Structure 1
């Protein structure tokens, strides 16, 4: 294993020892500790670029979800849930798996790589288990338009490597790329929505600017989201304010030049947060995000949970239950198995994007700005 991967593994294991909780333990989710959780990304992973699907607010626009209803008195009774929501045991304060992928290859070479078969198998399993993909922008914006009884999942791909996306001579997704596999799984499993979010560095999928402009437009037109992941994939924790702005802003400038649209969401390289999170959140006139992802190691809280911190959202590395980096407990196979065995901890949709349904026992976890949309049973 390359030295940098070993170092990343040591950092991750230390993070687990110092702060990561076992599945189902909410006490370890203190927001003040979120930025300390080490990322699963490898410094040796190829860098790439960032972009976003249309409809993104311009820099300087609010980063709030825009979907929260006017506040109501905390003492006002919450209306009863619709019968259909009760029937599917809706719980929209449950956990949401945000899966993190790096290189997709026929034959993996590095510890963070996933094979095309592994990706296909994992996505097929998600479809069979009732998961419904949404984009990162939809997740941060509280626009969780998921059919009743199904569970949102956010598919994120870091570093915009060639295995993520490309177009063949006919203008279709190149075979064995992540996009082609996502679309194949959707065809084979009606109701599985073919969307994902790609976090880009400067070498966008190995394309030149002309190819990238065409490719990014294709992604936008087909419902995929593109997000900012910096120009050169540095650890932002060691950069000055100027350095952070340059890495993110220069990437954003290139994306806007190629697509005409700003990105909505951001993923910290290595999961490393700058000295001041505000530096990564916004720079007037250049970028303004709705939220940012870390790099591991557990499902995210619901965006409607009072403890949800949109600037330090957890993700889960896609991996089997292997010993390395404690994946037996903290990678995708382990977590998805856990949520399947503990459905009361998983986000289950009520089917109505205008309401937020949950068991009455969870009422104290609801963020007050969403109380007007709440329904209980």
Structure 2
């Protein structure tokens, strides 16, 4: 087994344990609302100071009849699924075979999930039809099994992108988007190919995210080393696409000694959200416990004993949310409102109260 995958497996185990024993992270003051555009949206400059927004007084207005009919709950949990290599036959614990990916995406589609990008999720503005559930598909390490173009300029059939598009064709309502967290080896492509490939992804709604140049554990690096790793990858993406990335995923889920080093570095990079390695679905972006700098993800895997996947990987969590639909994010179909049962009102983050609707 490659050393990188051994290390990653150990880190995932540690993330599970920490997630169970540490108290919930309370969100710090959030930055001023900023438009987080489509895939690879450009974000430049340093973070602005938090906006002062008056909290509307009085009770939350009533929900639209259509939202009530579908039992909308936009304070529910959202699965952010984490994939690594996609290969014809899985060889390491972090691999998923092409069939396993197809089967899991088909399950999501049949269960009423609609993919959104990580940037859309962090921005809190995404268009999911009423009664359906958002899901974020994230692919780490930009390996060849994620994306490649054939001689005609179409995704090769055994890649993650082609499989996502196939499932979308077969299941109306399943959107063909995902977020790819990039390292310096961009899908095994040379720079000329990578420039074409990255632009192809962006033009079709896929998001490009930052995953550092060489995939080190940032926890043991200095400020200069952290910023060189993140900034080096950012420089390359900007050079090839003309766009900045919007979100970062920590390699191994390891946070630097000072988290601010990873969030922004002048105009070189400025993120709107950062993702961990994960062990559980994320809170809704409208929940007061949502922390955009420590967003949890779920490893894609069946109910195997390794890394306690019997409880904390994708198959187990999707089973849980199917059995407990009141805990899952269900859309009201209107990206301008946030609808939920009145019993959940205490969980609503104050900055979203002006968009709130309850029933």
Name the TM-score, length of structure 2 as normaliser: 0.93
Question: How far, CA to CA, are the matches of 1:149 and 1:12 in structure 2?
Answer: 32
Find the partner of 1:29 among 18, 21, 24. Answer: 24
Match of 2:306 in 1: 324
Distance in 1 (CA, whole Å) between partners of 2:266 and 2:227 is 10
Q: Report the equivalent of 2:202.
A: 220
Aligned to 1:134: 116
Alpha-carbon distance, 1:11 to partner: 4.4
Number of the residue aligned with 1:263 = 245
Which residue pairs with 1:16 in the alignment?
Answer: 16
1:100 to 77, 82, 101: 82
**Cα distance between partner residues in 1 of 2:175 and 2:191:** 29
Residue of structure 2 equivalent to 1:170: 152
- Deviation by residue 1:255-286 (Cα, 9 ceiling, x = unmatched): 00000000000000000000011100000020
1:1-377 to structure 2, matched below 5 A, reads 1=1, 5-20=5-20, 28-31=23-26, 53-60=39-46, 62=48, 70-73=53-56, 75-377=57-359
Q: What is the DSSP-based 3-state SS (H/G/I as helix, E as strand, rest coil) of the residue aligned with 1:145?
A: coil
Q: Distance in 2 between matches of 1:375 and 1:198?
A: 33
Per-residue deviation, 1:19: 3.8
Shift of 1:72: 2.4
Task: Go from structure 1 to structure 2 and tell me whether the alpha carbon gap of 1:9 and 1:232 turns closer, same or farther (over 3 Å shift).
Answer: closer
- Call closer, same or farther: CA 1:13–1:266 in 2, change over 3 Å: closer
**Number of aligned residue pairs:** 349
1:16 Cα shift?
A: 3.3
Q: CA deviation at 1:29?
A: 2.8
* Counterpart Cα distance in 2 of 1:296 and 1:18: 10
Q: State the SS of the aligned residue for 2:187.
A: helix
CA 1:230–1:17: 2 relative to 1, 3 Å: closer
Counterpart-to-counterpart distance in 1, 2:5 and 2:243? 35
SS at match of 1:206: coil
Contact 1:133 1:152 (C-alpha < 8 Å) held by counterparts? yes
CA separation in 2, counterparts of 1:94 and 1:63? 28
User: Partner of 2:147: helix, strand, or coil?
Assistant: coil
**Are the structure 2 counterparts of residues 12 and 103 from structure 1 closer, same or farther at C-alpha, using a change threshold of 3 Å?**
closer
- Using structure 1 for the length normalisation, give the TM-score: 0.88
> Structure 1 stretches of 5 or more lacking a match?
22-26, 33-51
Distance (whole Å) between structure 1 residues aligned to residue 334 and residue 193 of structure 2: 39
Partners of 1:373 and 1:69 lie apart in 2 by: 16
For residues 186-230 of structure 1, the C-alpha deviation after alignment (integer angstroms, 9 at most, x for no partner) is 000011100000000000000000000000010011000001000
CA contact (8 A) 1:63 1:291 kept: no
- For residues 47-77 of structure 1, give each alpha carbon's deviation from its aligned partner in whole angstroms, at most 9, with x where no partner exists: xxxxx9343222425598xxx995323x421
How well do the aligned residues superpose, as a CA RMSD in angstroms? 2.0
Residues 149 and 351 of structure 1 are in contact (CA less than 8 Å); yes or no, is this contact kept in structure 2? yes
Q: How big is the shift at 1:341?
A: 0.3
